[in-house]
């Protein structure tokens, strides 16, 4: 079955610093989704990547999908306290569960003022 591995599990950065979160798949990715979650709340959709080499940006967050479509990275530039939360990557699921997403376990980001 497909698995998504996220690294690091948690991250503490000083405000203003850059950071990168990685998401690695055991199978080729046909759709890769990044979400953000505040503790005890629902997931907020950030970006979707589909093509090898694709890169998308929204405000200070950039997501990339590698050419082989097995790894994605999420990069935050000049982090702010508002970036704190849990970042999850999701991918289109296989194995008969058509239409669902498989999720990584998440990366918990803390930003120190």
- The site for other proteins (CB under 8 A) is made up of 30-31, 33, 35, 40-45, 48, 50, 88, 90, 92-93, 97-101, 103-106
77/101 with CB nearer other proteins: 101
What minimum distance in Å lies between the beta carbon of 113 and other proteins?
A: 26
With beta carbons less than 8 A apart as the criterion, state whether 2 and 94 touch: yes
Backbone φ/ψ region at 85: left (φ over 0), alpha (ψ -120 to 50), beta: left
The 3-state DSSP class for residue 103 equals strand
What are the tokens at 29? 């990715």
5/59 with CB nearer other proteins: 5
77/108 with CB nearer other proteins: 108
């Amino acid at each position: 079955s497909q698995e998504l591995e996220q690294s690091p599990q948690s991250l503490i950065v000083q405000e203003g610093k850059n950071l990168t979160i990685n998401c690695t798949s055991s199978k080729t990715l046909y759709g890769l989704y990044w979400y953000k979650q505040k503790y005890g709340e629902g997931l907020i959709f950030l970006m979707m990547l589909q093509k090898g080499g694709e890169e998308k940006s929204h405000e200070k967050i950039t997501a990339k999908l590698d050419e082989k479509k097995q790894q994605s990275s999420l990069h935050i530039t000049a982090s702010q306290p508002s970036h704190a939360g849990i970042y999850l990557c999701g991918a289109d699921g296989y194995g008969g569960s058509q239409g669902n997403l498989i999720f990584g376990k998440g990366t918990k980001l803390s930003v120190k003022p």
